[in-house]
Amino acid sequence: MTSIAWRGAWALAAWLVLGLLAGCAGQPVPREHGLALRDAEIRSTWLGQWSRQAAADHAGLSGFALLAKGEEAFALRANLAEQASKRLDVQTYLLGEGQTVQVLLHRMIGAAQRGVEVRLLLDDLTASGQGDQLAALDSHPNIQVRVFNPWPLGREHLVSRVLLSLPALARQHRRMHNKTWIVDNAVAITGGRNLGDEYFNASEPRNFADVDLLAVGGVVDALSLSFDLYWNHFLSQPLARYHTAAPEAWRDLAATLARQLAEQRDSDSPYFVALRARYGAAAEDKLFSELHWAPGQALWDPPGKVAGRERSPLKRTLFGALLDQLPELESRLVIVSAYFVPAERGTALLTRLAESGIRVEVITNSLEATDLSLVHGAYAGRRRALLESGVRLHELRGRQQRGEEAEIGIPGTSISSLHSKAVSFDDDLVFIGSFNADPRSVIWNTEVGVLVESEPLVAEFLEFAEAGMTPSLSYLPGLDGEGRLYWLTELDERLVRLDREPGSLKQRLGSWFSRLLGLEIWL
């Protein structure tokens, strides 16, 4: 046998061994299925009573508030955790690090100490390297941590986790991208934000412009149902199958978090000083005072979308359900997507709309601003066709001039990036959730969001979007008379034209590499 054949045989044997290990690894842990709270339980909570009182004069409608500022989105999550009486359900793709995460974890433990049942559901890929902390959290008798679409090998580091999951790549590249924060089945938050400093404007040097939706009323029941479906799915496994801690490990974690928060107070963290100045004196229910009451529908992908090797039929996905709910457009379509990859069919659709007289506007990241240049490369390959048809593109700049960032909720940082995922249809319909306008959200990942019919909410969303469209915050790509690309932007209060796309050499290479390999369908 040749050396090449031997290497092939060894590689095949290694894959088989890894597959066997994957089937055997982990500890058997009994799974307790959880369901949403009953009406009587909800009515017994402070938030349940408040939400029902607020909805009393709005029969059949739900209440919504747009959360476009990271500080507000963080403060609201922290306050809701503090007000929880029965149940705190948290579903997220990513649990990061930093001062805001320390606060939220501390609030989760505090809620558990009051007898609140806390359920934390994470995508397994992003839980890599966090086994000790998550196991300590899970050791509290009132806290359960589960990971979605788990893989038992290489969990200590993201790189080893990815490499050792290659034998199951057909499923392991699919992820749970959902984000929900549900308290007492009475109040819910969903949208684009993961849990991490950069999503709450607390990071240096980079922060994300993002948007969430607060909901009360009937739509919360549907979001709670979506959480339960994921929590009880066979792809959602107890963390204790892979990581365990001593029964009282949560006490050490709580003490560590308390010490870290005390250090923040002693050092007068600028973020928390500003936060206390803005929200500290507010009444506990102040952040709920302005709600838009309107019809709303929660939409989500079934958790089994991740399980199969084949693509799910479009009609069984969130995107298919969203298309079924949409009326025929009359005047305007606004897409805000951090990762915008329209692909061939999406480009054809947007082109037809623009050529029919619909005002089509897209806000996405510039090459300079994106954290995934491979994704930008796939978008850039469609940019010329979109511009030729009349689609208006706006690419958020990576560096903002001081004082401008607050317009889209990014205060005081030198580097910014878009992370929002929302679409408005004409002047009365908006969809806000975790769904990017890309093949990965349509085909591979699971997502969640809420479709709301409300002119006031759409007007508020468009104010947020239009701030990001201005040349003081974005590059406006266009085509000159000879078909060459250029970018308009405002620098030092002067409109300037750039004939070369702003971005680093590394970013340019990543974008070019993406187009070269034809990665569009995977992004």
Q: Which of 259, 288, 317 lies at the terminal end of a domain, its last residue?
A: 288
Q: Which residues 6+ apart lie within 8 Å of 332 measured at CB?
A: 358, 359, 360, 361, 424, 425, 426, 427
- For residue 153, the domain's CATH number is 3.30.870.10
Instruction: Tell me the two tokens of residue 173.
Output: 């590249």
Q: Establish if 151 belongs to a structural domain.
A: yes
Q: Under a CB-based contact definition with an 8 Å cutoff, are residues 482 and 349 in contact?
A: no
Q: Under a CB-based contact definition with an 8 Å cutoff, are residues 180 and 89 in contact?
A: yes
Distance (Å, whole) CA 201 – CA 169 = 34
Q: Under a CB-based contact definition with an 8 Å cutoff, are residues 308 and 101 in contact?
A: no
Residues 71 and 190 occupy one common structural domain: yes
From 86, 123, 421, 438, active-site residue: 421
**pLDDT value of residue 32:** 57
Q: Establish if 409 belongs to a structural domain.
A: yes
**pLDDT value of residue 342:** 95
Annotation says 301 is catalytic:
no
Q: Establish if 9 belongs to a structural domain.
A: no
The DSSP secondary structure of 84-136, one letter per residue, reads -SSEEEEEES-B--SHHHHHHHHHHHHHHHTT-EEEEEEETGGGTT-HHHHHH
Q: Establish if 3 belongs to a structural domain.
A: no
Q: How buried is residue 328: exposed, middle or buried, by Cβ count under 10 Å (0-12/13-18/19+)?
A: exposed
**pLDDT value of residue 41:** 74
Q: Which residues 6+ apart lie within 8 Å of 356 measured at CB?
A: none
Backbone region of residue 330 per phi and psi (left: phi > 0; alpha: psi in -120 to 50; beta: other values): alpha
Q: Under a CB-based contact definition with an 8 Å cutoff, are residues 93 and 123 in contact?
A: yes
Residues 273 and 322 occupy one common structural domain: no
**pLDDT value of residue 308:** 77
Residues 217 and 86 occupy one common structural domain: yes
Q: Under a CB-based contact definition with an 8 Å cutoff, are residues 121 and 90 in contact?
A: yes
Question: For each of the chain's 523 residues, which pLDDT tens digit applies?
Answer: 444 343 333 333 333 333 333 333 444 454 455 666 767 677 788 898 988 888 889 999 999 999 999 989 999 999 999 999 999 999 999 999 899 999 999 999 999 999 999 999 999 999 988 999 999 999 999 999 999 999 999 898 888 888 888 888 888 899 999 999 999 999 999 999 999 999 998 887 778 999 999 999 999 999 999 999 999 999 999 999 999 999 999 999 999 999 998 888 777 777 777 777 666 544 444 545 689 999 999 999 999 999 977 788 898 999 999 999 999 999 999 999 999 999 999 999 999 999 999 999 999 999 999 989 999 999 999 999 999 999 999 999 987 654 444 455 554 445 678 999 999 999 999 999 999 999 999 999 999 999 999 999 999 999 999 999 999 999 999 999 899 999 999 988 899 999 999 998 999 999 898 888 888 888 7
For the chain, what is the total number of helices (H) and then of strands (E)? 17, 21
Q: Which residues 6+ apart lie within 8 Å of 354 measured at CB?
A: 360, 386, 389, 390, 391
Q: Establish if 321 belongs to a structural domain.
A: yes
In the numeric block, the tokens 């049942």 are attached to 117
From 179, 233, 243, 394, active-site residue: 179
From 140, 243, 419, 438, active-site residue: 419
Residues 135 and 64 occupy one common structural domain: yes
DSSP single-letter state for residue 30 = P
Residues 43 and 82 occupy one common structural domain: yes
From 123, 124, 138, 426, active-site residue: 426
Q: How buried is residue 404: exposed, middle or buried, by Cβ count under 10 Å (0-12/13-18/19+)?
A: middle
Residues 518 and 479 occupy one common structural domain: yes
Domain count across the chain: 2
Task: Please report how many Cα atoms fall inside a 13 Å half-sphere around the Cα of residue 199, on the Cβ side.
Answer: 25
Segments forming the whole domain that contains residue 235: 31-288
**pLDDT value of residue 415:** 66
Q: Establish if 20 belongs to a structural domain.
A: no
Q: Establish if 293 belongs to a structural domain.
A: no
Helices (H), 267-401: 270-279, 318-325, 343-355, 373-389
Annotation says 69 is catalytic:
no
Residues 439 and 320 occupy one common structural domain: yes
Residues 490 and 442 occupy one common structural domain: yes
From 177, 233, 292, 376, active-site residue: 177
- Considering only CA atoms, which of 276, 135, 271 is closest in space to residue 197? 271
Residues 105 and 240 occupy one common structural domain: yes
Q: Under a CB-based contact definition with an 8 Å cutoff, are residues 184 and 85 in contact?
A: yes
**pLDDT value of residue 284:** 44
Read off the pTM.
Answer: 0.90
Q: Which of 288, 319, 340 lies at the terminal end of a domain, its last residue?
A: 288
Residues 253 and 317 occupy one common structural domain: no
**pLDDT value of residue 269:** 77
Q: Establish if 10 belongs to a structural domain.
A: no
In the numeric block, the tokens 């009994």 are attached to 30
Task: Tell me the residue ranges of DSSP E strands in 110-251.
Answer: 117-123, 143-148, 180-183, 187-191, 206-209, 212-217, 236-238
Residues 174 and 101 occupy one common structural domain: yes
Task: Please report how many Cα atoms fall inside a 13 Å half-sphere around the Cα of residue 2, on the Cβ side.
Answer: 3
Residues 190 and 322 occupy one common structural domain: no
Q: Which of 237, 259, 288 lies at the terminal end of a domain, its last residue?
A: 288
Annotation says 419 is catalytic:
yes
From 123, 124, 184, 371, active-site residue: 184
Label each residue of 416-467 as H, E or C.
EEECCEEEEECCCEEEEECCCCCHHHHHHCECEEEEEECHHHHHHHHHHHHH
Distance (Å, whole) CA 387 – CA 368 = 20
Annotation says 376 is catalytic:
no
Distance (Å, whole) CA 351 – CA 243 = 50
